[in-house]
Amino acid sequence: MTTIDLGTPPPPATTLLEGLPRRVALTLPELQYCAASAGDAPLPFVLDDAVGAPDPLADRLGGTTTDSDGSVYADALASLHDPVESLTRRGLIGADGVDPGVLGAIGLLATPDLGLDIDVTAAGIRAKSWHRQAGGAVATLATVDGIVFELAWFGTESWPDDLGRVAGIPEDVPLSASALPEVVDLPYELVDAAGEALRTHRLDVLPVLVAQHSGRVLDADARPLGDQEVLELLQALHSEGQGRIRAMLADVAADATTVGVVSWLLLADGWHSLRPHTDGDEHRVEVRRVEPSDFASAIAPVLAEVTA
Protein backbone atom coordinates (compact mmCIF):
# COMPACT_ATOMS: atom_id res chain seq x y z
CA MET A 1 0.00 0.00 0.00
CA THR A 2 1.33 3.43 -0.94
CA THR A 3 1.01 6.16 1.70
CA ILE A 4 1.32 9.82 0.73
CA ASP A 5 0.47 12.64 3.09
CA LEU A 6 -1.21 15.46 1.16
CA GLY A 7 -2.49 17.21 4.25
CA THR A 8 0.63 17.95 6.33
CA PRO A 9 2.68 21.03 5.35
CA PRO A 10 6.27 20.14 4.41
CA PRO A 11 9.09 21.15 6.76
CA PRO A 12 10.72 24.49 5.92
CA ALA A 13 13.63 24.33 3.48
CA THR A 14 17.08 24.82 4.96
CA THR A 15 18.36 26.71 1.91
CA LEU A 16 16.75 29.17 -0.49
CA LEU A 17 16.58 26.77 -3.45
CA GLU A 18 16.03 23.51 -1.59
CA GLY A 19 12.76 21.85 -2.45
CA LEU A 20 11.69 24.45 -5.01
CA PRO A 21 9.94 22.91 -8.02
CA ARG A 22 11.77 23.29 -11.29
CA ARG A 23 9.63 24.24 -14.28
CA VAL A 24 10.48 24.55 -17.96
CA ALA A 25 8.30 25.45 -20.93
CA LEU A 26 8.70 23.14 -23.92
CA THR A 27 7.11 23.27 -27.33
CA LEU A 28 5.63 20.03 -28.62
CA PRO A 29 8.65 19.32 -30.89
CA GLU A 30 11.03 20.04 -27.99
CA LEU A 31 9.04 17.76 -25.71
CA GLN A 32 9.01 14.98 -28.30
CA TYR A 33 12.76 15.36 -28.86
CA CYS A 34 13.44 15.14 -25.12
CA ALA A 35 11.18 12.07 -24.83
CA ALA A 36 13.11 10.40 -27.66
CA SER A 37 16.35 11.24 -25.86
CA ALA A 38 14.96 9.61 -22.71
CA GLY A 39 14.86 6.22 -24.37
CA ASP A 40 11.72 6.92 -26.41
CA ALA A 41 9.76 7.43 -23.19
CA PRO A 42 6.00 7.52 -23.86
CA LEU A 43 4.25 10.79 -23.10
CA PRO A 44 1.01 10.74 -21.08
CA PHE A 45 -1.23 11.86 -23.93
CA VAL A 46 -2.16 10.58 -27.39
CA LEU A 47 -1.16 12.66 -30.38
CA ASP A 48 -1.27 11.69 -34.03
CA ASP A 49 2.19 11.76 -35.61
CA ALA A 50 0.82 13.72 -38.58
CA VAL A 51 1.17 17.45 -37.98
CA GLY A 52 -2.12 18.15 -39.68
CA ALA A 53 -4.17 15.75 -37.54
CA PRO A 54 -4.28 16.98 -33.94
CA ASP A 55 -7.70 15.48 -33.17
CA PRO A 56 -6.63 13.03 -30.41
CA LEU A 57 -5.06 15.81 -28.35
CA ALA A 58 -7.93 18.14 -29.13
CA ASP A 59 -10.26 15.57 -27.56
CA ARG A 60 -8.26 15.82 -24.35
CA LEU A 61 -8.04 19.60 -24.42
CA GLY A 62 -11.71 20.14 -25.12
CA GLY A 63 -13.90 21.00 -28.05
CA THR A 64 -14.24 19.54 -31.49
CA THR A 65 -11.50 20.39 -33.92
CA THR A 66 -12.71 21.69 -37.28
CA ASP A 67 -10.66 21.55 -40.48
CA SER A 68 -9.85 25.23 -39.97
CA ASP A 69 -8.71 24.59 -36.40
CA GLY A 70 -6.51 21.75 -37.62
CA SER A 71 -4.94 23.98 -40.24
CA VAL A 72 -4.20 26.70 -37.68
CA TYR A 73 -2.69 24.10 -35.34
CA ALA A 74 -0.52 22.66 -38.13
CA ASP A 75 0.64 26.15 -39.15
CA ALA A 76 1.55 26.95 -35.54
CA LEU A 77 3.62 23.77 -35.23
CA ALA A 78 5.31 24.42 -38.58
CA SER A 79 6.37 27.90 -37.45
CA LEU A 80 8.31 26.58 -34.43
CA HIS A 81 12.11 26.48 -34.39
CA ASP A 82 14.10 23.28 -34.75
CA PRO A 83 13.94 21.63 -31.30
CA VAL A 84 17.70 20.92 -31.06
CA GLU A 85 18.50 24.52 -31.95
CA SER A 86 16.01 26.03 -29.51
CA LEU A 87 16.87 23.64 -26.66
CA THR A 88 20.59 24.33 -27.12
CA ARG A 89 20.01 28.09 -27.16
CA ARG A 90 18.06 27.83 -23.90
CA GLY A 91 20.75 25.75 -22.21
CA LEU A 92 18.66 22.58 -22.07
CA ILE A 93 21.09 20.70 -24.31
CA GLY A 94 24.76 20.66 -23.41
CA ALA A 95 27.86 18.67 -24.23
CA ASP A 96 26.37 15.60 -22.56
CA GLY A 97 22.99 15.89 -24.22
CA VAL A 98 19.59 16.93 -22.86
CA ASP A 99 19.49 18.36 -19.32
CA PRO A 100 19.41 15.35 -16.93
CA GLY A 101 16.63 16.95 -14.87
CA VAL A 102 14.40 17.14 -17.95
CA LEU A 103 15.23 13.54 -18.88
CA GLY A 104 14.52 12.37 -15.34
CA ALA A 105 11.16 14.15 -15.25
CA ILE A 106 10.11 12.65 -18.58
CA GLY A 107 11.27 9.25 -17.39
CA LEU A 108 9.13 9.60 -14.27
CA LEU A 109 6.12 10.55 -16.41
CA ALA A 110 6.58 7.25 -18.23
CA THR A 111 7.23 4.97 -15.22
CA PRO A 112 5.16 6.16 -12.23
CA ASP A 113 3.64 4.39 -9.26
CA LEU A 114 0.67 6.77 -9.11
CA GLY A 115 -1.08 8.65 -11.90
CA LEU A 116 -3.29 11.73 -11.60
CA ASP A 117 -4.93 13.28 -14.68
CA ILE A 118 -6.55 16.69 -14.19
CA ASP A 119 -8.93 18.46 -16.59
CA VAL A 120 -9.66 22.11 -15.75
CA THR A 121 -12.05 24.50 -17.49
CA ALA A 122 -12.40 28.15 -16.49
CA ALA A 123 -12.88 31.48 -18.29
CA GLY A 124 -13.46 29.67 -21.57
CA ILE A 125 -10.04 27.97 -21.42
CA ARG A 126 -9.51 24.24 -20.99
CA ALA A 127 -6.25 22.88 -19.61
CA LYS A 128 -4.99 19.36 -19.11
CA SER A 129 -2.30 18.31 -16.67
CA TRP A 130 -0.77 14.95 -15.92
CA HIS A 131 0.83 14.27 -12.52
CA ARG A 132 2.99 11.18 -12.03
CA GLN A 133 4.54 10.11 -8.71
CA ALA A 134 7.09 7.47 -7.74
CA GLY A 135 9.34 7.20 -4.71
CA GLY A 136 9.89 10.68 -3.34
CA ALA A 137 9.39 12.58 -6.59
CA VAL A 138 6.59 13.99 -8.73
CA ALA A 139 6.69 15.06 -12.38
CA THR A 140 3.91 17.03 -14.04
CA LEU A 141 3.08 18.04 -17.60
CA ALA A 142 0.44 20.62 -18.50
CA THR A 143 -0.88 22.41 -21.58
CA VAL A 144 -3.78 24.56 -22.74
CA ASP A 145 -3.17 24.41 -26.49
CA GLY A 146 -1.22 21.24 -27.29
CA ILE A 147 1.66 23.36 -28.60
CA VAL A 148 3.41 24.67 -25.48
CA PHE A 149 3.76 22.46 -22.41
CA GLU A 150 4.98 23.12 -18.89
CA LEU A 151 7.15 20.33 -17.52
CA ALA A 152 7.81 20.40 -13.77
CA TRP A 153 9.43 18.14 -11.21
CA PHE A 154 9.73 18.35 -7.43
CA GLY A 155 9.70 16.33 -4.23
CA THR A 156 6.50 14.62 -3.12
CA GLU A 157 6.34 16.95 -0.10
CA SER A 158 5.71 19.86 -2.49
CA TRP A 159 2.81 18.12 -4.23
CA PRO A 160 0.06 19.74 -2.09
CA ASP A 161 1.27 23.23 -3.04
CA ASP A 162 1.31 22.32 -6.72
CA LEU A 163 -2.21 20.90 -6.53
CA GLY A 164 -3.39 24.18 -5.00
CA ARG A 165 -1.79 25.95 -7.96
CA VAL A 166 -3.85 23.77 -10.34
CA ALA A 167 -7.07 24.95 -8.69
CA GLY A 168 -6.18 28.65 -8.78
CA ILE A 169 -9.03 30.78 -10.11
CA PRO A 170 -8.02 32.96 -13.10
CA GLU A 171 -8.10 36.69 -12.39
CA ASP A 172 -10.54 37.32 -15.24
CA VAL A 173 -13.21 35.06 -13.70
CA PRO A 174 -15.79 37.36 -12.04
CA LEU A 175 -16.83 36.28 -8.55
CA SER A 176 -20.01 37.32 -6.76
CA ALA A 177 -22.53 35.95 -4.27
CA SER A 178 -24.01 32.51 -4.90
CA ALA A 179 -27.52 31.27 -4.24
CA LEU A 180 -26.03 28.05 -2.85
CA PRO A 181 -25.34 27.73 0.88
CA GLU A 182 -21.84 26.82 2.07
CA VAL A 183 -22.91 23.17 2.32
CA VAL A 184 -25.95 21.38 0.91
CA ASP A 185 -26.66 17.65 0.66
CA LEU A 186 -29.08 16.49 -2.05
CA PRO A 187 -30.44 13.27 -3.56
CA TYR A 188 -28.47 12.56 -6.73
CA GLU A 189 -31.70 11.69 -8.51
CA LEU A 190 -33.00 15.23 -7.87
CA VAL A 191 -29.81 16.89 -9.09
CA ASP A 192 -29.75 14.76 -12.24
CA ALA A 193 -33.44 15.21 -13.08
CA ALA A 194 -33.32 18.96 -12.40
CA GLY A 195 -30.32 19.31 -14.68
CA GLU A 196 -32.14 17.53 -17.50
CA ALA A 197 -35.23 19.72 -16.99
CA LEU A 198 -33.13 22.88 -17.17
CA ARG A 199 -31.20 21.69 -20.23
CA THR A 200 -34.47 21.03 -22.05
CA HIS A 201 -36.04 24.30 -20.80
CA ARG A 202 -38.76 22.45 -18.88
CA LEU A 203 -38.90 24.89 -15.97
CA ASP A 204 -42.46 23.75 -15.24
CA VAL A 205 -41.09 20.37 -14.17
CA LEU A 206 -38.78 21.74 -11.46
CA PRO A 207 -41.45 22.41 -8.78
CA VAL A 208 -42.79 18.90 -9.29
CA LEU A 209 -39.32 17.38 -8.83
CA VAL A 210 -38.67 19.47 -5.73
CA ALA A 211 -42.03 18.43 -4.22
CA GLN A 212 -41.20 14.76 -4.84
CA HIS A 213 -38.02 15.17 -2.77
CA SER A 214 -39.45 17.55 -0.16
CA GLY A 215 -37.58 17.39 3.14
CA ARG A 216 -34.66 15.41 1.68
CA VAL A 217 -32.38 18.36 0.83
CA LEU A 218 -30.29 19.13 3.91
CA ASP A 219 -28.11 22.01 5.08
CA ALA A 220 -24.76 21.81 6.92
CA ASP A 221 -26.56 20.86 10.16
CA ALA A 222 -28.60 18.10 8.42
CA ARG A 223 -31.77 20.21 8.64
CA PRO A 224 -34.18 20.04 5.67
CA LEU A 225 -34.46 23.10 3.45
CA GLY A 226 -37.77 24.53 2.30
CA ASP A 227 -39.01 23.71 -1.20
CA GLN A 228 -38.66 27.29 -2.47
CA GLU A 229 -35.05 27.47 -1.28
CA VAL A 230 -34.35 24.11 -2.92
CA LEU A 231 -35.88 25.33 -6.17
CA GLU A 232 -33.62 28.40 -6.16
CA LEU A 233 -30.45 26.51 -5.33
CA LEU A 234 -31.10 23.92 -8.04
CA GLN A 235 -31.43 26.68 -10.61
CA ALA A 236 -28.23 28.28 -9.30
CA LEU A 237 -26.35 24.99 -9.32
CA HIS A 238 -27.03 24.61 -13.04
CA SER A 239 -26.88 28.28 -14.08
CA GLU A 240 -23.93 29.72 -12.14
CA GLY A 241 -21.37 27.38 -13.65
CA GLN A 242 -18.14 29.11 -14.77
CA GLY A 243 -15.86 26.08 -14.91
CA ARG A 244 -15.00 22.73 -13.44
CA ILE A 245 -12.18 20.44 -12.35
CA ARG A 246 -12.20 16.70 -12.90
CA ALA A 247 -9.32 14.68 -11.49
CA MET A 248 -8.81 10.94 -12.03
CA LEU A 249 -6.37 8.90 -9.92
CA ALA A 250 -4.99 5.40 -10.41
CA ASP A 251 -2.40 3.19 -8.75
CA VAL A 252 -0.34 2.48 -11.85
CA ALA A 253 2.30 0.36 -10.11
CA ALA A 254 -0.31 -2.08 -8.83
CA ASP A 255 -1.87 -2.32 -12.31
CA ALA A 256 -5.16 -1.66 -10.54
CA THR A 257 -8.42 -1.11 -12.33
CA THR A 258 -9.76 1.08 -9.51
CA VAL A 259 -9.92 4.73 -10.49
CA GLY A 260 -10.80 7.52 -8.09
CA VAL A 261 -12.50 10.71 -9.25
CA VAL A 262 -12.62 14.18 -7.68
CA SER A 263 -15.01 16.77 -9.16
CA TRP A 264 -15.31 20.49 -8.40
CA LEU A 265 -17.60 23.11 -9.93
CA LEU A 266 -16.71 26.79 -10.32
CA LEU A 267 -19.88 28.69 -9.40
CA ALA A 268 -20.57 32.38 -8.89
CA ASP A 269 -18.63 32.60 -5.61
CA GLY A 270 -15.80 30.16 -6.38
CA TRP A 271 -15.15 26.43 -6.21
CA HIS A 272 -17.64 23.91 -4.80
CA SER A 273 -16.73 20.25 -4.34
CA LEU A 274 -19.09 17.45 -5.35
CA ARG A 275 -18.87 14.46 -3.00
CA PRO A 276 -21.04 11.46 -3.91
CA HIS A 277 -22.11 9.23 -1.03
CA THR A 278 -24.94 6.93 -0.01
CA ASP A 279 -27.48 7.09 2.78
CA GLY A 280 -28.95 3.61 3.01
CA ASP A 281 -30.05 2.78 -0.52
CA GLU A 282 -30.18 6.42 -1.64
CA HIS A 283 -27.40 7.95 -3.72
CA ARG A 284 -26.68 11.51 -2.63
CA VAL A 285 -24.19 14.29 -3.37
CA GLU A 286 -22.78 16.87 -1.00
CA VAL A 287 -21.98 20.27 -2.53
CA ARG A 288 -19.51 22.20 -0.35
CA ARG A 289 -17.80 25.59 -0.80
CA VAL A 290 -14.02 25.09 -1.00
CA GLU A 291 -10.84 27.07 -1.64
CA PRO A 292 -8.09 26.27 -4.18
CA SER A 293 -5.81 25.33 -1.29
CA ASP A 294 -8.29 22.57 -0.34
CA PHE A 295 -7.67 20.64 -3.55
CA ALA A 296 -4.88 18.48 -2.11
CA SER A 297 -7.07 17.64 0.90
CA ALA A 298 -9.84 16.60 -1.50
CA ILE A 299 -7.44 14.37 -3.42
CA ALA A 300 -5.99 12.69 -0.29
CA PRO A 301 -8.90 10.41 0.76
CA VAL A 302 -9.53 9.33 -2.84
CA LEU A 303 -5.82 8.57 -3.22
CA ALA A 304 -5.98 6.47 -0.05
CA GLU A 305 -8.91 4.45 -1.47
CA VAL A 306 -7.16 3.88 -4.79
CA THR A 307 -3.92 2.68 -3.18
CA ALA A 308 -5.52 0.60 -0.40
Domain ranges within the chain, ordered by starting residue:
183-307
| 108, 120 contact by CB (below 8 A) | no
Residue 255 confidence (pLDDT): 66
Give pLDDT tens digits along the chain (308 positions): 445 556 444 444 444 444 568 999 999 999 999 999 999 999 998 865 333 333 333 343 334 445 556 678 888 888 888 999 999 999 999 999 999 999 999 999 999 999 999 999 998 889 999 999 998 999 999 999 899 999 999 999 999 989 988 899 988 899 999 999 999 999 999 999 999 999 998 999 999 999 999 999 999 999 999 999 999 999 999 899 999 999 999 998 776 666 899 999 999 999 999 999 999 999 999 999 999 999 999 999 998 888 87
d(CA 229, CA 208): 14
Strand order in the sheet with 243-251: 22-27, 148-155, 137-143, 125-134, 114-122, 243-251, 259-267, 270-279, 282-289, 183-187
d(CA 117, CA 37): 24
| 297, 240 contact by CB (below 8 A) | no
Q: Computed from CA positions of residues 273, 276, 277, 283, in that sequence, does the dihedral angle turn out positive or negative?
A: positive
CA distances from residue 168 to 199, 215, 218 in whole angstroms, order as listed:
28, 35, 29
Q: pTM score, two decimals? A: 0.83
